[in-house]
Amino acid sequence: MADATEMSARSAGGTAPAALQRAFDSDIFYSFRNSPITMLAAVVTLLGFVGAIFAPWLATQNPFDLRTLNLMDASLPPAWVEGGEAKYLFGTDNQGRDVFSTILYGSRISLLVGVGSVLLALVLGVGLGLLSGYAGGSIDAFIMRVADVQLSFPAILIALLIDGITRAILPREAHDAAAVYVLILSIGASGWVQYARTVRGSTMVEKNKEYVQAARVIGRHPFAIMLRHVLPNVMGPVLVIATIHLAVAIITEATLSFLGVGVPPTQPSLGTLIRIGNNFLFSGEWWITVFPGAALVIMVLAVNLLGDWLRDALNPKLR
């Protein structure tokens, strides 16, 4: 009813301040304001990103720089426990790395890989979806077949495979240096299918509409027209997929690093930290595992909450 006019008005364009005003008035922002959990999740996510981006300024130590590590300070408990030092808030690991700083630097990697792979998957998936939906015929059939087959393999397996192959092809130093990019490639390449399917559906719907035929008659390339009309419609669901995919990507990177086939041990991410800490759980040095673990879970939980809220907010049927 009244909401429909708002939506169409928004997609029709308008001046920036007016658009912003409409955004604030919209149902989406309303449901955001009304859900304290979601707002908390958004704040946490924001903090996570800020912490990761500004890690060099926020951390007390650069754990990747071996020269700043002091082996004498290895395996210290958190500051509030007996034996700990104020300098090392969350304690240190077996190589003297400050856990707090490593969490900051580690989440850098986690977020970099997460966002990078989501972007890759999004671009790949949206592109292939558009192509598949628009071209139809055998191209469509082929792409969808590949998608079906890939969907039946868990992403982590594909990621492992790509990582294994690059590890075998590249010499060790090159692989270590490129590890982050390899991870982005492998996690991204294993996640494009969802995007492609959604976009393909929308594209096929739009393709049959009359304005596309009309555009052909005028001589304007219908593909450009469709981009202009398909993309706004499809951005909502794609955004939902991307948010949830971000959570999955972060977990996947952490898992790969935990398994030892992710980032090299000299550039630990949260997963690597947990792996290191795992070896010391039995001797009671719990902080090396617990704090990075908590940081990981909180981050992923916040992103998942945002994704859940986004999906409910964008689904007109659930209102």
- Rounded to whole angstroms, how far apart are CA atoms 292 and 298? 10
**Torsion angle of C-alpha atoms 102, 103, 105, 108, degrees rounded to 10:** 160
Q: Give the phi and the psi of residue 92 in degrees, each rounded to 5.
A: -125, 160
Which residue number, 151 or 214, has a Cβ lying nearer to other proteins?
151
- Cα dihedral sign, 80-61-72-95: positive
Three-state DSSP at 224 gives helix
Give least dist CB 226 to other proteins, A.
28
- Rounded to whole angstroms, how far apart are CA atoms 61 and 95? 13
Which residue number, 225 or 244, has a Cβ lying nearer to other proteins?
244
Q: Give the phi and the psi of residue 285 in degrees, each rounded to 5.
A: -90, 75
Tokens (6 digits) for 267: 């550039």
The number of beta carbons lying within 10 Å of the beta carbon of residue 289 is: 20
For residue 167, state whether it binds other proteins (rule: CB under 8 A).
yes
Report 31-70 residues binding other proteins (CB under 8 A).
none
Give least dist CB 66 to other proteins, A.
23
What letter represents residue 13's amino acid?
G
Nearest to 122 by CA among 51, 31, 38, 189: 189
Which residue number, 16 or 169, has a Cβ lying nearer to other proteins?
169
Determine which residue in the list 8, 15, 138, 152 makes contact with other proteins, applying CB under 8 A: 152
For residue 30, state whether it binds other proteins (rule: CB under 8 A).
yes
Query: Residues 253-272: x/- map of binding to other proteins (CB under 8 A)?
Result: -xx--xxxx---------x-
Determine which residue in the list 103, 147, 160, 288 makes contact with other proteins, applying CB under 8 A: 160
Determine which residue in the list 169, 171, 173, 219 makes contact with other proteins, applying CB under 8 A: 169
- Cα dihedral sign, 84-85-91-92: negative
Q: Which helix (H) or strand (E) holds 228?
A: helix 222-259
Determine which residue in the list 85, 140, 176, 308 makes contact with other proteins, applying CB under 8 A: 308
Judged by CB under 8 A, how many residues of this single chain contact other proteins? 42
Among the residue ranges 158-166, 194-202, 218-226, 231-239, the one whose residues contact other proteins (CB under 8 A) = 158-166
Determine which residue in the list 149, 177, 214, 224 makes contact with other proteins, applying CB under 8 A: 149
Determine which residue in the list 19, 20, 50, 151 makes contact with other proteins, applying CB under 8 A: 151
Among the residue ranges 42-50, 112-120, 204-212, 300-308, the one whose residues contact other proteins (CB under 8 A) = 300-308
Contact predicate 297/16, CB 8 Å: no
- Rounded to whole angstroms, how far apart are CA atoms 264 and 183? 11
Q: Which residues bind other proteins (CB under 8 A)?
A: 1-2, 30, 149, 151-154, 156-157, 160-161, 163-165, 167-169, 247, 251, 254-255, 258-261, 271, 274, 278, 281-282, 286, 289, 293, 296-297, 300-301, 304-305, 308, 317
